[in-house]
Structure 1
């Protein structure tokens, strides 16, 4: 039993030894797909410039700091990393690089892995070989890959070339890449979306107050910032590295003067000379960047000078905001100062990253981006608050203006009504006075003259009772004509009706038939003096018929033809009166009718043939305002 026990002890010892050896062997050969950090690479640093000399090759630790003397647009970098062969497919995570790069696996272009909706990764066909150094990248490493190469050329984004790389299975690398991409890129894009929303709000406010130049410059700065955010987060460069980096620099340069202009308008310190200075400096910085594109060897220095001028403008804006912050009421001035503090802090920290004074973590954020976002938000709050208060003041002023306009309108209406009443009263007084003067003149010239003549004839014994009765009848007829054409009977149709009523019976007693044809309605628009002239012509013509024509029928026709009032008096008497008698032969009656026709602005036509009676026609133009009607056809 003792020998058997010793045997089993030896067996157990051998088994323990074998298990230990197996465990050591297993520990010495880990899984090739485990996550590894690649921190060593063979770097070749050269230049496209002929005067730069030969390229320098050395093994470096990642991230490697690049010599400042070779950070221009002619810099060329080549990194090579040796991989241990692995039968499994792996993924390479590149947090961010200092220069735009092209990745190769065993001499072939590396395939980028893109996220699927479920969080997994799938290969993406690269449309451009140069990757954006700002964007975290996940590349596919096929099974059996032995080497990695990175080729870089052009302006540097940061002060180093290649960062520490992370190699592992796609299953392990995908969530790390997704989280890094979300913090570095998506948050920047979300900030751009936030600024876009607030810029649209500012645009709505500015549409109501287009004279607010502060809002206008804020909208310009916001637009440039949003464009810069989207342009700076492209996965692959659309142009060469130098052109891309200088385009990003141009967008930063354009943001500074727009921001300063908005700040000056907010602080109410804007002056036209600022436009000259800002425009001149912006043009100068643009020329510097254009020269950097044409002179790649000096591109880094020229871009740095443009950045220095831009930072100087922003520092000046901060100092102005700090000095004049009390020009804004309440908290507004302090908020603007805080926005500039955040921006300058971001500029300072990013500068330390570029200079290599601070280590760039894999998921480090650009503080310049977030500092500028904070400044834009502060400016937007102040501008929107100012604009809303201005709109409210304008609304109150409009209400007050409406009240004042209403009061003034009522005063004007009252004054106008009072003035109109006074004018109507004055016009009525004048009309009465003119009518009174007209009646006096007509009575004096007509009835007065006839009565005076009759009185002198009676005194001399020249008038027989019959002749005296005729003279008095003429005076009475003339008086009635004057009364018919007074202000209450100044319409022609009413005056004609009154005349017909008086003369119809008289003519019938004398054996003369009166045939009457007057257009109905007769809208003549004539005044009282013109109506009186026409009635006197009519009465004189009928009186001549009774005295000289020996007629039995008198036709009276009144109508409107071609904007003229036409009066015709025709009899069936003996006729034979001269068509145009001389002033001595025609007598007082015909001369009076001729003068009255001329006073109406018209004409008188006398037509008389032996045995065919006599026709007297008067044509007088109607006033312009009087409606013109065609004469009705004869019945």
Structure 2
């Protein structure tokens, strides 16, 4: 999909990215000068004296007094030179730093007293760049202050020198700086200009150059490699049609290999110099090869013949440069890098041809970027030959184009997937709307049928409760009146029980919204006057308990009937004076639940076994049967002196009634 179809947000993001890139390149081209301020200005040394020594030692002496050179001798023929100063190099050679003596070149310059003024952070020495195959050492007032370490070939040439002069100089007095460069014969070397002054003035320039020459390259390569690993994971998950992700991963690895020499610090790498050189060359060749195939995949125009020719060329150059039989790559590497020109021209031709055919902003920008990489490469080749030594290498930033292109491709595929998903979602939404309309009609019919069935079931339940509760009590009262004299029957008490049954049945129809305390409050309202009339004092000590989602009308009636039976037995048989209601959270049989306790101070009561229940008296059996229907349990605990504690435990989750629940209605 071309860039024009990506959307305004993506184009805005790309515009911001290009603006940032333009700003970064502007910083690179303009360089970094010290920031002026109220402190003394730093000294910028552009003149020095040079002398070629006859020393054959690679390692520098600890001090100039111990040196075998005539550095401090009065007759030493020093010559005035201008900084930056460079000694020419050969494009190819076969010298090995481990087997030949070096060419030693000395530089001498004076640091003015104004640059060594005492400041809060002290004076610093800042050298933007030095470059050679060999070693470098700095002496201040004859004492060794710094020397390069690690490999003589792949040293920290791309990192600026930043030294503290506070302990090596005296405020208000000039200092003499000597620079010793031990170079491989025929390779030459270069030294940039030198800055000396307060750290407050030079720190910004040093940090910016260090960022552009080393740290930013490291961050870019790290981000590039992370994105490459992400592309590899995408390819492993989706093999079909994901070759472009695999190619991007290979390209990120090759780019990292090709730029390793820009990331070398003072410690170097634990790898032989010739193999390290070959690794960077192989990475550069692999980058060009991967870029060619990546462009072919992006343009969806495979070129198998050209790809095969390019593959053979890259493999041949890489194998020919193997350190197993090739001459020393230390001096051959600049010449071998010219072998990148033919495949790079091929990549440029593919990019230009793709831009001509597609004529989209993305393809045109990519072709322009690849074309711009050639003058960048020539600039870096000149810099490697010590021309414009204070410039910054541009090659590590060339691959930003490929990096940006991959981001565009990934965003294009992501937005395409979003568009496909949005289209599928719209179609699915339309179909769901049609199905929803049909389901709504069906649901309306089912709801009407369910409403009718619910009304019928509720009507039958109420009728059954009226028959089993109030009707049974009225029949019992009628038999008592018929079979016994009226003087011996408390007709009013029997009628009160009938009215309580009727009220409890009506209360069970009120919605309680799973609130057990609301249900108990209704029971207290109904039975409180009757208990007080019987001479009982009711104490209400309930606590908040979790809601019971399963507490519907039928379950509420079971709870009310259980507590009604318990209270009736207390009034009739216990001779109690006080009753206390309590609620709490409690677990039973490994399940969370709540409990309702009714405590009285009457005669202790313990229920007999079910086999010893009196014939015709089913109160205790009904209590236990209703508790099982609710998935709970009941317990009577007689107290040591007087009183009994009745506990009703109910589960929090849906009840799991016992197998005898179906026969409950017959029992009651």
Q: TM-score, normalised by structure 2?
A: 0.44
Larger Rg: 1
Q: Which has the higher contact order (CA 8 A, sep 6+)?
A: 2
Q: TM-score, normalised by structure 1?
A: 0.46
